[in-house]
Amino acid sequence: MSFGGVLWISMTICIFFSSVSLALSVSSGCSSKPAVVFVFGDSNSDTGGLVSGLGFPVNLPNGRTFFHRSTGRLSDGRLVIDFLCQSLNTRFLTPYLDSMSGSTFTNGANFAVVGSSTLPKYLPFSLNIQVMQFQHFKARSLQLATSGAKNMINDQGFRDALYLIDIGQNDLADSFTKNLSYVQVIKRIPTVITEIENAVKSLYNEGGRKFWVHNTGPFGCLPKLIALSQKKDLDSFGCLSSYNSAARLFNEALYHSSQKLRTELKDATLVYVDIYAIKNDLITNATKYGFTNPLMVCCGFGGPPYNFDARVTCGQPGYQVCDEGSRYVSWDGIHYTEAANTWIASKILSTAYSTPRIPFGFFCH
């Protein structure tokens, strides 16, 4: 390629990421009331729950970008939820189980934990357990506020808060990795949807009225799952067709569930966000957006095509990591890089993938 071509590509990438940064900075900051957000989900949103809850070590190079230290996030830097919080001009969410942070949880709490799913119930940290933790958190907060404690979220604060749910990927992906057939996996979808509906209804009964629900991404494009899958039913982009087909069926069911809940919960607002479309666009058009090797792991071992080896994962002895600032999509085979999360968050904040098309900060205006 000529020098002029390289220069043009470099300028295009710079302009694109400048526009992403601008979109994040001007999107939906709260002005009329404080932003209070409660998050329920898995590792896509876990800001340190696994570490604080189980003491599980998450070492560098996790966190090397932005934080310059490990924060318990499975990424080199910020997650999508971090960028969403920044768009509200509020602090990053503290994990509910982090008793050492000294946080008063004035802007909400994060109940998401790595590995969480909706099923089986009553195992740490399934969705219904996260909801039960919230119920305890709310009761204790109101008790302390009544006794005179300062900087506690009051009853109106809980009512005005946003309740974000991002879960379901592990229910599907784990079913495939346990050698369930495609038909068996599909049959589990209604039960998973029911658990998500029950969570929304429980939070509604606790006074929640503003909900933000993410569908699941194209997990058939996650390098770890592709590398470990015995059945390589790959599509033209190198992703597992059956996995992504299951994701789309799950998302269709979740979409219809969201429509039903809007009818049942008369005074509630529920926004459904098509994360699948956002991530699928990023993966299938990676070079267009300034990324490279969408199915190649930044932090792993083994080299092309996936750089993933279950015996030498990111942070373990012998791992290899791409240069800081590299435009990789996948960080460790399952989780995304900060660069990818930046792009994904900008698309969420655009409202183009939301039903209804309501700005993320609607709950605090």
- pLDDT tens digits, one per residue of 16-61: 454 455 455 545 567 667 899 999 999 999 999 999 988 888 999 9
Show Cβ contacts of residue 208 under 8 Å, excluding neighbours closer than 6 positions.
Answer: 38, 158, 159, 161, 163, 268
Is-catalytic flag, 332?
yes
Active-site position among 52, 332, 346, 354 = 332
Which member of 27, 43, 70, 141 is catalytic?
A: 43
Q: Residue type at 124?
A: P
Domains for the chain: give ranges and CATH numbers.
Answer: 31-284+338-356 (3.40.50.1110)
Residue 231: what pLDDT?
86
Tell me the pTM: 0.92
Is 43 among the residues known to form the active site? yes
Find out whether 180 and 56 touch, Cβ atoms under 8 Å.
no
267 residue type, one letter: D
Between 143 and 13, the more confident residue is 143
Task: Write out the two tokens for 200.
Answer: 């929304």
What is the distance between the alpha carbons of residues 127 and 119, in angstroms, rounded to a whole number? 8
Q: Tell me which of 27, 141, 335, 354 is the catalytic residue.
A: 335
| Antiparallel, parallel or unpaired: β 320-321 and 299-300 | antiparallel
Three state DSSP letters for 217-239: CCHHHCHHHHHHCCCCCECCCCC
Distance CA 69, CA 55 (A): 16
Query: Is residue 224 within 8 Å of residue 334, measured between CB atoms?
Result: yes
Which uninterrupted H or E stretch holds 214?
A: strand 210-214
pLDDT at 101: 62
- Report, as an integer, the average pLDDT of 228-252: 96
Quote the pLDDT of residue 151. 86
In the prediction, which pLDDT does 130 show? 98
Predicted local distance difference test score (pLDDT) of residue 5: 43
The rounded percent of the chain whose pLDDT value lies above 90 is 82
Q: For residue 335, indicate whether it is catalytic.
A: yes
Find the Cα–Cα–Cα–Cα dihedral 166, 168, 169, 174, rounded to 10°: 150
Helix (H) or strand (E) holding 269: strand 269-273
Copy the structure tokens of residue 328.
């990789």
